[in-house]
Amino acid sequence: MNKRKTARIFNDLSMAFFLISSTVVAFLPIADREKHPAIAVLAGGIFWVGLLWGIFLYILSCQKIRNLKSYQNYRSVERIGALAPGSTKEGLIADLAFIPGFLVIILGTYVFNIPDPVMLVCMWITMVSFYGHFVLNGRVYKFLHKRKVIRYRKVKEESAEKNTQLKEGV
């Protein structure tokens, strides 16, 4: 298997582990240390294992493609995912889902009395969309899942050529 396919598998698995990490929200109503200590420990374990494996696999996917010339060219023109909200369709969905989920959590905690199931669903949506923002808007995801990577190199060369023509007055 080539590096790009391996990196894509690692990238997809990292998001899967982030989803597993966010399922811990389902355990919150029954994860009482006094009544159900085993469930509380299980919930904590699922959260940390999912989070750490998600990060580990994401780093592996980055390292697999880091030395590819096409990725280095792409990397020179693209911003990092944390600073590029909505840069992919999937990332835009994650970013837009984060806002209402976060607002409901804040309002339900401090202002209104919102039912617990609604709060739990909003917590889950907020966690998934937070993870999704970084993965789905990232350069690695765009490089691995989008086919327009070669175009960016040409666009960069064309814009550099236009800039030199403008400076020379041609």
Q: Give pLDDT, residue 75.
A: 77
C-beta of residue 57 within 8 angstroms of C-beta of residue 14 = yes
Average pLDDT of the chain to the nearest whole number? 83
pLDDT of 40 > 70? The answer is yes
pLDDT tier for residue 158 given thresholds of 50, 70 and 90: low
pLDDT for 60: 93
Q: Is the pLDDT of residue 149 over 60?
A: no
- Contacts of residue 97, defined as CB under 8 A and 6 or more positions apart, other chains included, come to 125, 128, 129, 132
Find the distance separating the first CA and the last CA of the chain, reported in whole Å: 48
Global model pTM greater than 0.85 = no
pLDDT in tens, 60-109: 998 988 888 888 887 777 777 778 787 888 888 999 999 999 999 999 98
